[in-house]
Structure 1
Amino acid sequence: MSEQSGTGTKPADDPEARGLRLVPVLLGLTVVSGLIDAVSYLGLEHVFTANMTGNVVVLGFAAAGAPGFSVAHTLTSLGSFVVGAMAGGRVAVRLGSGSRRTWARLTLAAEAVLLGVSAVVAYAAPGATATAYTLIAVTAFAMGLRNATVRRLGIPDLTTTVLTMTLTGLAADSRAGGGPGTRSPRRTASVVAMVVGAGAGAWLVLHQGLALPLAIAAGLVAVLAVAASGRE
């Protein structure tokens, strides 16, 4: 007698289980977010394209006339992110009721293409005003698309772009905070992944320019797109 799951499908034959589970995929994407924000903040006049919480604060700085900040750049990032999130929501409506593996892979493939385009633009026309706006718009759109997808996937403590609630949960739910200490490894890994991505991205921006970290980010997301499964 063959062993079958409750749905009548052998676990070994379940296509959703093929590939890398989504938790390590999302940790990899968190590294990419650190890379992207290093590129945008250090290389594009102190604007974020992955972390929109920080971007709203930056908009306030820019509006107040603080030196080194741009209202136009920040609004471009916020607007592009929102449009990307809308597109991600549309994709989720269309694909979210089907295979999570297919949905995740297609969305990540789109992000990889967008980041690859950004790398080409940064390499072809470094320092141009149009290049700055293009990089901001395209990377922010890609991050909005991804965030909408990650939100719909609903995997706890792995937003891939912001850490405020992750750090809150890590502290409040710790044994020192009177909690059970659950999910601490996942939350800690998320913080470490962001720091690693930001540190690596900052070094690359300072020593190699913008094209290389964008190309590395695109390559990493492409690998994750090919490898992702539909399982947490």
Structure 2
Amino acid sequence: MRWALGLALSAVAGFVDAVGWIAFGGVFVAFMSGNTTRMGVEAVRGDLAAAWQAAQPILAFTAGAVLGAALRRRSGLAGLLAAEAAALAVAAALVAASAPAVLPLALAMGMQNLARQAAGPAQLGGTFITGTLVGLGQALASAEWRAAGAQGAAWLALLAGIVAGAIGMGAGAAPALAGVALLMLILAATVAVVGS
């Protein structure tokens, strides 16, 4: 169950990041490396408004990680997944109302990293895919085929989520995000009933 949940969470991270990228003009909501790079470059260029714009998802993501750690301790994995579903539903409602939704999406993805830590093996990353690819390379170099398969599956789950998110944008960002919020609620209920 833990492995399947970890793969599902990686796919959700890819889906949400693709929706965020397309809907908000190249803003990452699940991957903070790109936002950090943009923030630094814009600060050096002297465009402090653009640097601040790049910093906001980083701050929301970090707040999500703090909130996720507290929720995981107090409410367990099911409570954490339900909170992520709520943040995604808020984002869907904001998009439907033509309001900015980057911050609740980044908050949700920050929370999800804590869910993923509880749901799968180390380096099963959806928002730290570089580590997954490094793990894949190490496993291939050592001929550790099972580990390579696990790392490859994590990368493919993320890629599948990205593709699904890009396709889901055909219906619009609000329905796409509402759908993924519902999926997270189903995952939370499943974890509550079955366990992780």
Fold shared per TM-score above 0.5? yes
Quote the Cα distance in structure 2 between the aligned partners of 1:181 and 1:104. 30
Residue 41 in structure 1 maps to residue 21 in structure 2 = yes
Residue 136 in structure 1 maps to residue 102 in structure 2 = yes
Question: Unpaired runs of 5+ in structure 2?
Answer: none
Residue 165 in structure 1 maps to residue 124 in structure 2 = no
Partner of residue 3, structure 1: none
Partner of residue 157, structure 2: 193
8 Å CA contact 1:87–1:145 kept in 2: the answer is: yes
Residue 202 in structure 1 maps to residue 175 in structure 2 = no
Quote the Cα distance in structure 1 between the aligned partners of 2:142 and 2:120. 26
Deviation of the 1:44 alpha carbon: 1.1
Partner of residue 100, structure 1: none
Deviation of the 1:154 alpha carbon: 6.3
Q: 2:12 aligns with which of 26, 32, 44?
A: 32
Residue 53 in structure 1 maps to residue 36 in structure 2 = no
Partner of residue 227, structure 1: 190
Using the TM superposition, name which of 148-157 and 193-202 deviates more: 148-157
Deviation of the 1:216 alpha carbon: 1.7
Quote the Cα distance in structure 2 between the aligned partners of 1:123 and 1:170. 39
Deviation of the 1:26 alpha carbon: 1.5
Compare the two structures and name the one with the higher helix fraction: 2
Q: 1:155 aligns with which of 117, 121, 124?
A: 121
Deviation of the 1:55 alpha carbon: 2.1
Quote the Cα distance in structure 2 between the aligned partners of 1:217 and 1:121. 15
8 Å CA contact 1:73–1:136 kept in 2: the answer is: no
Structure of larger gyration radius: 1
| Distance of aligned partners of 1:37 and 1:182 in 2 relative to their CA distance in 1, 3 Å threshold | same
Deviation of the 1:116 alpha carbon: 1.0
Partner of residue 91, structure 2: 118
8 Å CA contact 2:3–2:120 kept in 1: the answer is: no
* 1:29-73 C-alpha deviation (Å, 9 max, x unpaired): 1111111111222221311111112321232344355xxx94333
8 Å CA contact 2:61–2:109 kept in 1: the answer is: yes
Question: Unpaired runs of 5+ in structure 1?
Answer: 1-20, 96-102, 126-130
Quote the Cα distance in structure 2 between the aligned partners of 1:71 and 1:45. 15
Deviation of the 1:156 alpha carbon: 2.2
Q: Percent identity?
A: 30
Deviation of the 1:89 alpha carbon: 2.0
Residue 105 in structure 1 maps to residue 78 in structure 2 = yes
8 Å CA contact 2:39–2:52 kept in 1: the answer is: no
* 1:155-186 C-alpha deviation (Å, 9 max, x unpaired): 22312322111111111211xx1342232222
- 2:189 partner amino acid: V
Quote the Cα distance in structure 2 between the aligned partners of 1:82 and 1:148. 11
- 2:13 partner amino acid: S
Partner of residue 148, structure 2: 184
Q: What secondary structure, in the 3-state scheme, does the structure 2 residue paired with 1:159 have? A: coil
Coordinate RMSD, CA, aligned: 2.4
Quote the Cα distance in structure 1 between the aligned partners of 2:163 and 2:50. 24
- 1:144 partner amino acid: G
Deviation of the 1:124 alpha carbon: 2.2
Using the TM superposition, name which of 148-157 and 33-42 deviates more: 148-157
